[in-house]
Chain A
């Protein structure tokens, strides 16, 4: 059974700092991995999707990497801003289609001005 772990559960950093969020998964036979952002009381917003054949994806100040063999992904946020404060979740898909996404519990990020 696929399990997804995100460490740390919470992270507080000063504005401007570069930071890395971690995601690990137990079954390396994945189709893709997705990173989401969730603001308090809101739904999830898709940030990046990395297909199993890819090593990384970039969007603006965000860069996500994937190492299937070690069961790890990282989300790198450059030059963090207070507006980046949110909970970041990763999810892995272990068969075709999003119906089998397994989510981690998320990392709550606080960027202090």
Chain B
């Protein structure tokens, strides 16, 4: 079945450590996204990529980095510069824009806890 796989489901790290969250999709979608979800807040866009080897900052990119070396993969690194990294992270993909929008497909998320 086609879908988006995020791993791990739960991740624990010590403050000051960088950590990389995995996102893989087999939907053949060109566009991929990373969102952050905090209690009581809507989803906020961290980074997005419309095509391989290209990506753009979203609304809250500070303290995060991404790469898009393969169409299927869009890993997110949470660096030590991110002030409040504890959150639920969601990866999504879609057919790219220019078609008046298409539904986003989401993974099941990674819950990151930094202590």
Contacts of A42 in B (CB 8 A): 108-109
Contact among A41, A51, A99 with B33 in the assembled complex (CB-CB below 8 Å): A99
Q: 1/0 per position for B93-104, CB-CB distance to A under 8 A?
A: 010111011111
Is A101 a contact partner of B45 (Cβ separation < 8 A)? yes
B31–A99 CB distance below 8 A: yes
Q: Which of A13-47 contact B (CB under 8 A)?
A: 31-32, 34, 36, 41-46
- Is B90 in contact with A44, judged by CB distance below 8 angstroms? yes
How many angstroms between the C-alpha atoms of A62 and B53 in the bound complex?
39
Residues A49 and B101 in contact, CB atoms below 8 Å apart: yes
Contact yes or no, B101 A31, CB < 8 A: yes
B105 within 8 A of A: yes
Which residue of A36, A41, A44, A96 is within 8 Å of B101 (Cβ)? Answer: A96
The answer to whether B42 and A93 touch across the interface, beta carbons within 8 angstroms, is: no
A31–B100 CB distance below 8 A: yes
A72 at the B interface (CB under 8 A): no
Best-buried of B31, B102, B111 by chain A (most CB within 10 Å): B102
Contacts from B to A (Cβ < 8 Å): 4, 6, 31, 33, 40-43, 45, 48, 50, 56, 58, 90, 92, 94, 96-98, 100-109, 111
Residues of A at the B interface (CB closer than 8 Å) are 4, 31-32, 34, 36, 41-46, 49, 51-52, 89, 91, 93, 95-99, 101-106
Sampled A-B contacts (14; CB under 8 Å): A31-B101, A34-B103, A36-B106, A44-B106, A49-B101, A89-B42, A91-B43, A96-B100, A98-B31, A99-B31, A99-B50, A101-B45, A105-B40, A106-B42
